[in-house]
Chains A and B, each alone.
Chain A
């Protein structure tokens, strides 16, 4: 840790640089407020920047996200700390907070890195690539992904062998192993929490066999396989590299299930699965796609038509509750399910199973306020005391919430929620002047 603590001040702190945090920051900055975004990952963009296309329009996600994140990054009123964490937030007086921030070393001088990837080529180490959800490897010197913002290399120090190859290969000599953690103490007038959601971990449902059977993947892994910057040259089973022909989706994995502690609907899984099914039928024209569902929740604008479109393309919808998944000798998977319409237990064989994992609350921020109580709702999302009148307000005066930090929602709703968080923060700042 470097000895000195840097001091700074901003109007608004946005915690989390996903689509909700980014949108809220832009709105505030465009209205003349000075914003600091603290993002714990190496890039802003959240989950959206890693998606293939978006429902129900099937627009390319990267094509929407890239200009947005570049606008956020280049905005003169927005400062972004990536690889950073808020450690503590103290309410000082009626209109200010003191925030302690820890910036982890990237071991690369951000301003000097050109993103040429020569360090990546030179690095001999391969570890699982978390941005491809472990389907393929990455180097210990790496650019997180092609459209990362900032597009700057980082060193994974836990896996680095300190061989020096990256440093020798780097033309501007911007790799810097002398970097240390940096501490900041920042004065802030208002805060927006936009820390998003976590994906349900299907290891919590051993009867589905995720982890054990290698041809069972999560929807996020399929999302990557369908993205332009995908891990493989085409869609493959990670268990043996076969091009799958019979694909199954298991909806509500980790949602609407009190036995695993998450009784609520994740609101996005039906629609992203229907989207992926349509994209799969485009990528693999011979594929059979079956979606096992409890109820299809197609409540948004254009969603019912999108569902009908999938049926029209030949996606098979089975109202069925999966009991158990087992593996056959050839790596195929046998799904044992209750056919709800026929009230019968049936079995079906598939090449690959995609678990449509649900949205789980990210509780990172609850403990950041030692002197105040940031209330959570009964599902551990940030509580909105008055969701009808002031949907972004939280239990702490001056602290607002945007996007999926307050509950499951899709991208358009996250952007709407960011709009209300930024306007509520603005009126708060104007009132407290």
Chain B
């Protein structure tokens, strides 16, 4: 079968079912990403503040927030007076 270059994902889609876990993981990440970015639109926030608003374990907030930093959505802001916690802001 001749498969068009640049559209080969369609070929595999017919042969292989995407797992429910992969679909759920994407859905969850999209929700978390949207909430974090919406919250940061309003003001810069620390991980503690984001945790309270997201109602999620702190270590998960660190994981998702740092991933958003890595992929260029968020940037690190100022550190608090005790030099302990950074705040985070949207990357302009």
Write the residues of chain A forming the contact surface with B, with a CB cutoff of 8 angstroms.
121, 124-128, 135-137, 139-140, 157-164, 167-168, 170, 173, 175-178, 214, 231-233, 236, 238-243, 245, 286, 331
Contacts and interface: CB of A to CB of B under 8 A. Distances in A.
Given A121-B71, A178-B3, A161 B47 contact: no
Contact of A162 (B16, B70, B83): B16
B83 A286 contact: yes
Contacts of B25: 125-127, 159
Given A160-B22, A233-B69, A242 B8 contact: no
Interface string B4-20: 01111111110010110
A128 B25 CA distance: 11
Contacts of A136: 63, 66-67, 70
Nearest to B13: A162
B29 A176 contact: no
Contacts of A127: 25
Contacts of A158: 19, 22
Most chain A Cβ neighbours within 10 Å, of B16, B22, B25, B61:
B22
B12 A161 contact: no
Given A124-B26, A137-B63, A231-B70, A241 B12 contact: no
Given A125-B25, A125-B26, A243-B79, A135 B84 contact: no
Contact of A126 (B9, B12, B67): B67
Contact of B84 (A140, A164, A242): A242
Nearest to A232: B66
B58 A240 contact: yes
A136 B68 CA distance: 9
A8 B71 CA distance: 41
Contacts of A233: 69, 76, 86
A242 B26 contact: no
Contact of B66 (A135, A161, A163): A135
B30 interface: yes
B34 to A, nearest CB: 12
15 contacts: A125-B26, A126-B71, A136-B67, A136-B70, A140-B22, A157-B16, A162-B13, A163-B9, A167-B8, A173-B6, A177-B8, A178-B3, A214-B59, A240-B47, A241-B85
A173 B5 contact: yes
B92 interface: no
B22 A175 contact: no
Contacts of B8: 167, 175-178
A125 B6 CA distance: 19
Given A121-B71, A125-B29, A162-B12, A243 B84 contact: yes
B36 interface: no
Given A136-B67, A161-B18, A240 B3 contact: no
A216 to B, nearest CB: 11
Contacts of B10: 164
A160 B2 CA distance: 23
Contact of A164 (B9, B23, B58): B9
Given A126-B29, A177-B9, A233-B69, A159 B22 contact: yes
A231 B22 contact: no
A240 B48 contact: yes
Nearest to A128: B63
B65 interface: yes
Contact of A243 (B9, B13, B19, B83): B83
A321 B86 CA distance: 34
A131 B87 CA distance: 26
A240 B66 CA distance: 11
B45 to A, nearest CB: 11
B62 interface: yes
Nearest to A109: B5
Interface string B28-61: 0110000000000000001110010000001101
Give me the 6 closest cross-chain CB pairs, A-B, nearest first. Answer: A137-B67, A177-B12, A241-B47, A164-B9, A177-B8, A214-B59
Nearest to A243: B84
B22 A239 contact: no
B61 to A, nearest CB: 8
A140 B29 CA distance: 13
A406 B31 CA distance: 48
B52 to A, nearest CB: 12
A127 B19 CA distance: 14
A236 B62 contact: yes
Contacts of A176: 5, 8
A178 B2 CA distance: 10
A238 B22 contact: no
Most chain B Cβ neighbours within 10 Å, of A128, A242, A245:
A242
